[in-house]
Amino acid sequence: MSSNHILLEARGIGRRLPGGDGWLLRDIWLEVRPGERIALVGVSGSGKTLLLRSLALLDGLDDGEVYWQGQPVRNEAVPSFRRQVIYLHQRPALFEGTVEDNLRQPFTLKAHRARQFHQASILGWLAQLGRDTSFLNLSQRHLSGGEAQLVALLRAIQLDPLVLLLDEPTGSLDPDNAQDVEKLIQHWLTRSDGTRAFVWVSHDPVQAGRIADRRVMLEGGRLEGENQS
């Protein structure tokens, strides 16, 4: 896949305040190409989470459109789009049961029933995160916030999306564990022969410098500039 090919694109998207008086996001134009590592930065309240959710079409748009591989994503195309573009919430919701139950759950859904859970892949990723097989047997109720983030990440990457939209995916982790996650996501990206990409919200400028080759600044619901790392 050519690096000039655009995977995900926001064309003038906007979200109004409840009641329609003013804007939360306004006139957002953003292109995500294969292989790109994008850090989305800005102060708290600037709209970063809302922008990720809008790119994933989890919230309705009041203006503009989201395009996937050059085509607008509408109606019947949304389920297929969400198999390729996965949003990870900073505080992910997990189901009752063990870690393994949560990792197997997506394969019970119609969208993924043709695929299979591969424990060997999961164990390999867990090893990169400093965990062993026993982690799979932990109850969802006993996980820390950081451990829940790890489960949500593994649950997403096992589905082989092309784009990850990451909302502070290491926000509840200590520095060592955070860097393990960074390395795992970079590995996920590089082993795809340049076909995958991510947009990563981070409040840490040092982390943004490590993980991204492109930084995009959001301020007051508008994109105010970007630079290459």
Closest CA relative to residue 92, chosen from 151, 44, 141, 135:
151
pLDDT tier for residue 67 given thresholds of 50, 70 and 90: very high
How do 37-41 and 214-219 pair as beta strands? parallel
Give a yes or no: residue 26 inside a domain: no
At 228 the pLDDT is 67
Q: Tell me if 45 is assigned to some domain.
A: yes
Beta bridge partners of 225: 217
Please tell me the total count of domains within the chain. Answer: 1
Mean pLDDT of 199-228: 91
- Cα separation, 117 vs 134, whole angstroms: 17
> Does any domain span residue 91?
yes
193: containing domain: 35-60+82-228
On whether residue 107 sits in a domain, the answer given is yes
Residue 44 placed within a domain: yes
With a cut of 60, say whether residue 124 has pLDDT above it: yes
106 occurs within a structural domain: yes
Q: What is the CATH number of the domain that holds 224?
A: 3.40.50.300
Contact 152, 87 (CB under 8 A): no
Share above pLDDT 90 across residues of the chain, in percent, rounded to a whole number: 85
Query: Per the domain annotation, does 143 fall within a domain?
Result: yes
The pLDDT confidence band at residue 151, using thresholds 50, 70 and 90, is very high
